[in-house]
Structure 1
Amino acid sequence: MAWEPPELPEDQDEVIGRILDNLQDRMDGWAPYDGQPEVALAQEIGRETVVVNARMRDQIEYAVAGIGSTVFDVPYALATTAAISVQLTVTGTGVVVPDGFMVTGTNPVGEDVNFVLLEPVTAATTTPVVTMHAADAGSAGNGVPVGPLSIITATSTVITASAVTASAGGSDDELRDTYLDRLVSRLSVLRPGGVLAADMAALARTVPGVTRALGIDNYDALSEAIDAEKTVSVFVIDNVGAPVSVGVKADVQDALEAVREPGFVIYVEDPTYTAVDVVYDVVADAGADPGEVAAAIEAAVLAYLDPATWGTTVDDDTTWQAAGIVRLFDVAATIGRVPGVAAIVSVTLNGAAADAVLAGPAALPAPADAVDPTTVAGTVS
């Protein structure tokens, strides 16, 4: 399949003619002739419209190409450098031809092409053969014939240079139209769906009511088997980190079933919430209000353990990376960053000065308003 560019008029005379025809239809008895203000205005509008349309077409194609390379992982074919085998004559064995050594030849259209040695070579004979690459990428480096080459780099150890094969392998950057044709062909064979848990999670996030989703390959949410072939379990939550409604889960199930590969089993489930009890003992800065510091610590730790953001990344607040352990040092660091905290005496998670394990394959800290909530308490002295 070929790329079909957007239909934007780019013929100046055509655009001007359409404007004048429309004016004539709307203005009884009016006929265009050179010198009329209306005609001059129509001509200027026509010229500007064509310029804008050409730029708009370029921007649309650049945008589509950008989506193709970043979202669909169909990269542009970038220019490559031509290579050539060159026999050197040197003053003796053991001579080192340095990297950056350069020679030049002429391509079939009469252009000079420089070739450079990318790595130093120690001559084992007085006529070593080395591979050199064109200094500039592109097809212009191809076709330098077998025969003598001119030495550019000043040297007292290399006497002559001669190509033993014609240069080849250089290519230009892929034309945008060529790339777009290739992208359309690639996308034409794709369909929604996938066999990976990450694909299923991405599709689940497109269902209204779902903010984040975690897919786990080969996990059977009913039997809890972790080696179930052709099975994916998808866990979904809303914008506050809570389980979605039964209706939304049904919508997710329907959406995934509609695109699943034959023979695949898909489960849509709620995550598992684990209460984390944080107890701390800190020393406040001189002059700081202990009550205000305690309130700030509670807010900071609860924000860190918020199920709405647990497992997200700095770059993407909709992602969900499985994180089944609350690190003691991370909680302590969160407390230490609170304004007014001078020193940390101790921190415990669920009664121990150790990491806390969250239950379940899709594990989240319990929210502060849950029946069994995450809590933060301590002493500020």
Structure 2
Amino acid sequence: MAWEPLPLPVDQDQIITTILTGIATAIPGWVPIEGAPEVALAEEIGVQLAAVNAAAVAAANYAAAGVAAAFGFEPIEGTKAVLQDVTLTAQLPPSAGTAAFSRAVTVPAGFTITIGGQPFIVPKQVTRVAAFTQVTAGDFTGYWRGIITADFAAYEAGDEWNIGAAGDVASIQTVSPVIIAATLTAPASGGEGAETLTAFLSRFTAWLATLKPGGVRAADLAAFAATVPGVRRALALDRYDPENPGTPADRTVTIIPIDAAGGDLASFEVDRLRTEIESIREVGFIVHIIDPVRTPVTVDVTVTVAVGGDVTAVQSAVATAVEAALSPAAWGSGGDPAAWAETTTLRTLDVALVVANVPDVAAIGAITLNGDTADVTLTGPGALIDATVEVTAS
């Protein structure tokens, strides 16, 4: 199953415990006594509710599986986090040489390390050349050591595998006569859980709405683009030709897609989106796909912290709030993470409204955009902001 099932409890013991805990909370001093009418009733409710929930989860899974099979509309599977360029220390016995030398070191597929108890493996065999030098002090004096790097993938998909930090020493789980240490050069990243069943069905609903077939409005194609894996939201411009932007072009639509973080799509994701659009577009329509235009903006904010407030915490909170509001993932969304309306003006008032809602901000001293109090006009199409935020708090 590629999606996460409905989050309904199906363990009857868990449900019964939850019910009994709720009764004890509502009635101080009450304790469950086996055989008491209320306990027996809670147990029966737990058994029946577990059965109903299990049936609901199964029915939803069958329905979603039918959607995927009948329409070829697949759920977005989770991705595994990756530890890139893990530093591996290789050690050879004193007999390996008499002077510094280079030698190939092989790390077999399945070689496993753990970080915080989470296993990461080498997906396929890696062979790299290491320069070996002799250890001159300590217990391993006379041995030869060299360094190579290898990428490791999490054992399972999910964002909970995005762990670790540069410099962390991993535990080696696979016995090796050569590799004696593994050190992270960066935290694990890229792990995402499979989309939930409700998210899958929401995407499917949006996809169905575009089947005209293919949609004839720019909004249809924007909605369709957002159902393609890798695309979080998209802006579609009717009659816009990027090669001749000043002249409206009939039967032409330009789509500007971004990912969940507001970043440009990778080339393979653009190719996938183009293939999907070509499969459903109306005959005679020309569809272009371009990246958004990002305008660098330096935002300087000065605030006064309320009495009793933590100056450092408020300073950090203001910066975080402004960065989130102006981020490519949120700009032009109007609060709906799936929506995108072209917004080409950043006003100081926009920033002020965000800052004013941060707890413990007593007053706003000044807000400047690129060193000025004037509003900033953003370049389009697909105008997004590359913000640098500086906050002074006192």
TM range (shorter): 0.3 to 0.5
- Which structure: larger Rg? 1
Using structure 2 for the length normalisation, give the TM-score. Answer: 0.45
